[in-house]
Amino acid sequence: MFRAALRSLGQHRVRLLLTLLAVVVGVAFVAGTFIFTDSLKQSFDALFNAPQPDVTVSADSAFSAGGQGGGPGSGADQTPTVPSSLLANVTAVDGVASAHGMVTATGALVLGKDGKPVGRAGPPARAMSWLPDQSMSSLSLAAGQAPNGPGQVALLDSTATSAGVGIGDTVRLETPGGQLTSTVTGLVTRGIGGSDGGTLTVFDLPTAQKQMLGNTTTFTSIAVKASPGVSQAELANRLAPALPGHLKIETGAQRSADIANRLQTAFGFINTFLLAFALIALFVAIFLIFNTFSMLVAQRTRELALLRAVGASRSQVRQSVLVEAAVLGLIAAGIGVLGGIAVSQGLRGLLKVFGADLPAAPLVIQPRTIVVSLILGIGVTLISAYVPARRAASVPPVAAMRDDVSMPAKNLRIRGIIGAVLIVIAVLSALSATRDLSNNMRATQLVGVSAICALIGAIALAPILGRWFIGLCGMPIRGNAIGNLAVENGRRNPRRTAATASALAIGLALMSAIGVLAASTKASVAAVVDDTIGADFIVLGANFQPFRPDVFAAVKNTPGASTVTYTRQIPLAVGDDQGVLTGIQSGQFQQVFNLTMDSGTADNLLPGDAIVDSDTAKRLGISLGQNVPVDYVSGPGFLILRGTYKPAGPITGWISDVQTLTDAGGRDLDSAIYVRSAEGADPTTVKASLDKELAAFPAVKLQDQASLKDQINQQFDRVFGFIYALLALAVIVAFLGIVNTLALSVFERRREVGLLRAVGTSRGQIRRMVVIESVLIALFGALIGLSLGLIYGTLFRKVLESVGISKLAIPTGQIVWFVVLAVLGGIIAALWPAFTASRLDVLKAIASN
Amino acid sequence: MIAARANSLSKIYGDGDTRVTALDAVDVEIGAQQFTAIMGPSGSGKSTLMHCLAGLDSVTSGQVWIADTELSSLSDKALTRLRRDSVGFVFQAFNLVPTLTAIENITLPMDIAGRKPDPDWLNTVIDTVGLRDRLSHRPSELSGGQQQRVACARALASRPTIVFADEPTGNLDSKSGAEVLGFLRRSVDEFQQTIVMVTHDPNAASYADRVLFLADGRVVDEMFNPTSASVLERMKAFDTARA
């Protein structure tokens, strides 16, 4: 019995291969996600053994991650520092072997030969001071000498490569302290910890202090080495009494754990996303497997009947099909695990493209990964094959004697009722969700429930809808004999057509829903930019880094620029609530932002006065005129609330006079410059003049509303592109399903095809018949998928309105493309089955026995 | 007048040890407006002969003509067109496309060609097979005999040069079989149709004008104006020869 089952596997290789592929894709993504995560975890262990200070002393960095929000160009970057005088206190503590001041900061751009910053936009341009004690340094010298003196610099090897310089060459650097021309003395590599793809410049300590911090009296941290026999924790304990209370004293082990935690949180979302995708792929695979096994059983009806006739029991027949499924699932899972290795490596590569170079890690394949993959692969295959297996068992022995055997067609009524009930639930929960949008969480969950019910309901109704849709869609081609045949073929097995189309519908539903959300997000951002940015031009730092104030002087003197004003930003915290304080030049408020005040006024803000967005005010429970205690990087302070404004997209947080920032220890670095053209000046001329002035400042970029929107859109496009790429795989799997279904249909109808050929149908006409059927199935899948996608994209947009997606945009062009691609996919999927059909041997096909 | 002709027609399957000569230099002429039956024991090559004459199968050597067209030199495209326009078929089973109605099946060859059927002729054929009230039915809603009559109507509807019928009554009860055979006979008598029918049933052969007997790939005998009894007698001779 089992031998018969296994032999039959070997006989339908191509079809099984397609089925296999569907399971492999799903399993590979699950396994890949596990392998990726496990490998990443393993690499964290190496973090703990890497050279690092035993204890690091730094300013308590409640602001370490930088401020949140703060308007376009949120350059709220203020590096917390430690006075260099404390180095003596540290060295004096018993148990300290040595201690060194360190500078780690961002904003040192390496300029290429063309004068433009090298490296990608996105990851920051870092600068560090060289730590002479190699046992504590995360950097090691790969070639040359450590930098020594103001004219010298060492570069990360990848940075030097992108800048096209080597040891002995000179390189131009743009730093907050001004532009430098330095000689490259050495190339460094980063130890464990990986890189985020940004550039790294290494100075000696005094140069780093001067260029990056603007003084020689502070460090960003102090690296401390313990004397032999003193543990890290013991050293930290001894240091505490010798230092001011607000400083952070962290052991090497704590730091490593911190980094590991941060990386794990950062990649957590990727895992969730990939697992969700893997489940979608497996869900689609279920349809494909179901169809394949239905076909295998249908093809072997007489063989199965013969087995029954010679005495095999129902359960034996059922088991033989299930054994086949299990073997197939096992093979698919096995290949899936191997594919998972490829997926995990691919992920690494992809993240590198996005700018995150992860620490090198061994490939970790835990037993859990293999067990889960096997259970998923075999489980999914068995579940999908169960119904066909039962159907196989129900073949009566007498079928062996019959000439034409067809599986008994079951009534669609129960499916129809289930589908209708689910659709009603979907409509009701969607209505309930939209009626009360105030509770965001509840509304989102209701729409989610509605979406799942609608999807399953549509799949349940698909056989009924399919007959109807294909009939309707086929109207125009009915007049033609081949068209008529194709339409009837599409309608004759509604369940199979429905299962095939459903697989495609799932992928397209997700893609079009994401499309609606993406388009709406972009439109909303564009609207916010239009509404809130009052200036004609905005000068922003590359990567939104703050920039030198001499840019402002240059812009102010540009002919045609009438109103020129700058903003600065520093991080601040009100209790635990971290935010950004934006400083504006007095009296220039309305030149910069088109803000609507909810209460109070933004005019005549004096140093120490501030306005804040209404949401923040409400969250903090503060009212007009109140003296609000705040924390700056430099220490505590107060702000008097003078007004609240309606939050507008990217513009949130505290706004005050520039002087307030200076008083709070903010540095003379601007975050943005806003420019209005003079009355009657030609914007293109003004832009050209500005471009010319700014050519000397590679650290900044001139933006107008359009380019700002473009830049924001590009960021969205990257994220959405990633999602589309993954979903496209699900769609490709669905098209494999169409190939599979057509191949079976052609096999089942080979006598009919032979008859058609005998009475004079040409090969081309047979091919056309199969292709039209395929296109009709694909269009049906696209119709269900795109309808659901558009409806639920719109609904999700509606419930997400309060988080900023204020505008609804339907990506019509994209939807049209999806339809075109569905048609093309349908044609391509039909090529092989159509070819097979057209080459069928007429005589064999019509032979009566 | 000759409707179809084979000249030294051979058909060999396989190679070496598995070599089987299905037709061995057969010369045959099919008279126009005649009802010709081809008979012979299993494996005599009667079906192969019909397939070669109808352009369904390629020949190993020799020539085949339908009217003035020589088939062995034709491409698949030309052969397909010939079958569509000049040949009608009735098979033993699976004659009809299950998704098409009776009338759609009847007009299928003309629909494929993109031609309009001649309505008068179509009406005549439909009335002759007696299926006017069944035209909108699908094959699954028709009896076996009705299905074969639809197949016959299809074969005649395009007024082909020649109709080939392969065991058309093989799956039918005797009453339905008689109806179908009677209809084929009438189409020769009343409409001057040329018909070639492969059968192993002496009673079916008795409807023909002429019977060709095949054995071991050769035409071994022929008989004009056969009766069931005379055909049966002749067939018994084969069994004796074999024994």
- Residue B183: helix, strand or coil by DSSP? helix
B61-66 β-sheet, strand order: B20-31, B2-13, B61-66, B69-70
**What DSSP letter does each residue of A58-91 carry, written as one string?**
EE--TTTT-----SSS--------EETTHHHHHH
Residue A811 structure tokens: 């990506």
**Phi, psi torsion values for A68, nearest 5 degrees:** -105, 150
| Three-state secondary structure of A139-182 | EEEEEECCCCCCCEEEEEHHHHHHHCCCCCCEEEEEECCEEEEE
**Tokens for B4?**
């179809």
Q: Is residue B160 less than 8 Å (CB to CB) from chain A?
A: no
Chain segment A772-787, per-residue pLDDT in tens: 999 999 999 999 999 9
More confident residue, A22 or B47: B47
For chain B, give percent helix, strand, coil, nearest 5. 40, 25, 35
Token representation of residue A513? 């829903």
pLDDT, mean of residues A35-52: 75
Q: What is the pLDDT of residues A192-230, one digit of tens each?
A: 545 556 788 999 999 999 888 888 888 989 999 988 888
Residue position matching structure tokens 């300290």: A96
In sequence order, what are the residues at sequence separation of 6 or more whose Cβ sits closer than 8 angstroms to the Cβ of residue B172? B144, B145, B148, B180
**So where are chain A's domains?**
1-54+260-408, 55-259, 463-531+707-849, 532-706
For A579, the enclosing helix (H) or strand (E) is strand A577-584
In degrees and rounded to multiples of 5, residue A59 shows phi and psi of -65, 145
The C-alpha atoms of residue B177 and residue B184 are separated, in whole angstroms, by: 11
B229 touches chain A (CB under 8 A): no
pLDDT at residue number A650: 59
Rounded average pLDDT over A449-463: 91
Query: Higher-confidence residue: A312 or A553?
Result: A553
Q: Judge: B56–A758 Cβ closer than 8 Å, yes or no.
A: yes
The pLDDT mean for chain B works out to 88
Q: Mind telling me how many Å the CA of B51 is from chain A's nearest CA?
A: 8
Q: Is residue A97's pLDDT more than 80?
A: yes
Residue A276, burial from CB neighbour count under 10 angstroms (0-12, 13-18, 19+) = middle
User: What span, in angstroms and rounded, lies between the C-alpha atoms of A138 and A12?
Assistant: 57
Shortest distance between the Cα of A752 and any Cα of chain B, in A, equals 6
Q: Which residues of A134-164 are buried (b: 16+ CB within 10 A; e: fewer)?
A: eebbbbebeebebbbeeebbbbbebbbebbe
Q: What is the DSSP secondary-structure string of B196-226?
A: EEE-S-HHHHTTSSEEEEEETTEEEEEEES-
Confidence of residue A51 (pLDDT cuts 50, 70, 90): confident
- The answer to whether A378 and A362 have CB atoms below 8 angstroms apart is no
Please measure the distance between the N-terminal and C-terminal CA atoms of chain B and give it in whole angstroms.
39
Q: What pLDDT is recorded for position A11? A: 63
Dihedral of CA atoms B63, B64, B69, B71 in degrees, nearest 10, equals -80
Chain B residue nearest residue A755, CA to CA: B95
The confidence band for A849, taking pLDDT boundaries of 50, 70 and 90, is: very low
| CA A781 – CA B77 distance, rounded (Å) | 35
* Predicted local distance difference test score (pLDDT) of residue B96: 87
Which band of pLDDT confidence, cut at 50, 70 and 90, is reported for residue A669? Answer: confident
pLDDT at A66 over 50: no
Please give the full DSSP string across A725-772, using - where no structure is assigned.
HHHHHHHHHHHHHHHHHHHHHHHHTHHHHHHHHHTT--HHHHHHHHHH
C-alpha distance from B94 to closest chain A C-alpha (Å): 7
- Give pLDDT tens digits for B104-157: 999 998 888 888 889 999 998 898 888 889 999 998 899 888 998 999 999 989
- pLDDT-above-90 percentage for chain B: 36
Where do we find the tokens 């001894």?
A: A238
Determine what percent of chain A is predicted with pLDDT higher than 70.
89
CA distances to A54, A115, B186 from B190, rounded to whole Å, are 112, 98, 6
Are B93 and A763 inside 8 Å of each other by CB? no
Residue A464 Cα, gap to closest chain B Cα (Å): 18
Residue with the bigger pLDDT between A298 and B32: it is B32
Q: Do B100 and A488 touch (CB under 8 A)?
A: yes
Which residues in chain B have their CB less than 8 angstroms from residue A755's CB?
91, 94-97
Residue A47's pLDDT band (boundaries 50, 70, 90)? low
Give residue B73's pLDDT.
86
Sequence-ordered list of residues with C-beta below 8 angstroms from that of A191, at least 6 positions apart, any chain: A50, A51, A138, A139, A140
Q: What is the pLDDT of residues A496-532, one digit of tens each?
A: 888 889 989 998 999 999 999 989 988 888 887 777 7
Instruction: Return the residue in A493, A749, A752, A759 with the most chain B beta carbons within 10 A, the one to mutate for interface testing.
Output: A759
User: In the structure encoding, which two tokens stand for residue A335, read together?
Assistant: 């290949």
Residue among B19, B109, B117 nearest B60 (CA): B19
pLDDT at A794 over 90: yes
Domain count of the fold of chain B: 1
Note whether B89 contacts A842, CB cutoff 8 Å.
no
Query: Domain with B87 in it: what CATH number?
Result: 3.40.50.300
| The pLDDT of residue A15 | 65
Sign of CA dihedral A550, A553, A559, A564: positive
Q: Write the ipTM.
A: 0.87
Tokens for B67? 């009217």
Cβ neighbours of residue A221 under 8 Å, at least 6 residues apart? A56, A57, A58, A82, A101, A102, A104
Q: Say whether pLDDT at A271 is over 60.
A: yes
> Domain A532-706, CATH 2.40.40.20 — does that match?
yes
Range of the domain at B101: 2-242
pLDDT of A572 strictly over 70:
yes
The CA distances from residue B139 to A749, B91, B183, in Å, are: 15, 15, 19
Q: Check residue A69 and give its pLDDT.
A: 35
Cα A45 to Cα A42, A79, A431: the distances in Å are 5, 29, 51
CA distances from A310 to A288, A298, A405, A849 (A): 32, 19, 18, 21
**The predicted structure's pLDDT at residue A818:** 93
- Which tens digits make up the pLDDT trace of A388-421? 888 888 877 776 655 454 545 567 788 889 999 9
Q: Which of A374-388, A390-404, A597-611, A733-747 has the lowest mean pLDDT?
A: A390-404
So what's the pLDDT on residue A67? 36
The rounded mean pLDDT for chain A is 83
Q: Tens digit of pLDDT for each residue in B59-115?
A: 899 999 998 899 888 888 888 889 888 999 888 877 788 888 999 999 998 888 888
Q: What percent of chain A has pLDDT over 90?
A: 18
Given a cut of 90, is residue A184 above it in pLDDT?
Answer: yes
Print burial letters for B99-114: b (CB count within 10 Å at least 16), e (below 16). Answer: bbbbbbbbbbbbbbbe
Considering only CB atoms, which residues of chain A are within 8 Å of chain B?
A: 403-404, 480-482, 484-485, 488-489, 491-492, 751-752, 755-763, 765, 842-843, 846, 848
* pLDDT tens digits, one per residue of B30-47: 999 999 999 988 888 888
Spell out which residues of chain B touch residue A750, defining contact as CB-CB under 8 Å: none
* A218-219 and A627-632 beta bridge pairing: unpaired
Contact A760 B100 (CB under 8 A): no
The number of C-alpha atoms within 13 Å of A801 and in the hemisphere containing its C-beta is 15
Round to whole Å and give the CA distance between A53 and A250.
Answer: 10
Is the CB of residue A799 less than 8 Å from the CB of residue A448? Answer: no
- Does A121 score more than 60 pLDDT? no
Residue with tokens 């006065």: A609
Q: Kindly determine whether residue A481 and residue B111, on different chains, have CB atoms separated by under 8 Å.
A: yes
What pLDDT was estimated at residue B162?
Answer: 93
pLDDT of res. A71: 38
Contacts of A492 in chain B (CB under 8 A): 98-99
- The shortest C-alpha distance from B54 to chain A (Å) reads 9
Q: Average pLDDT, stretch A17-44?
A: 80
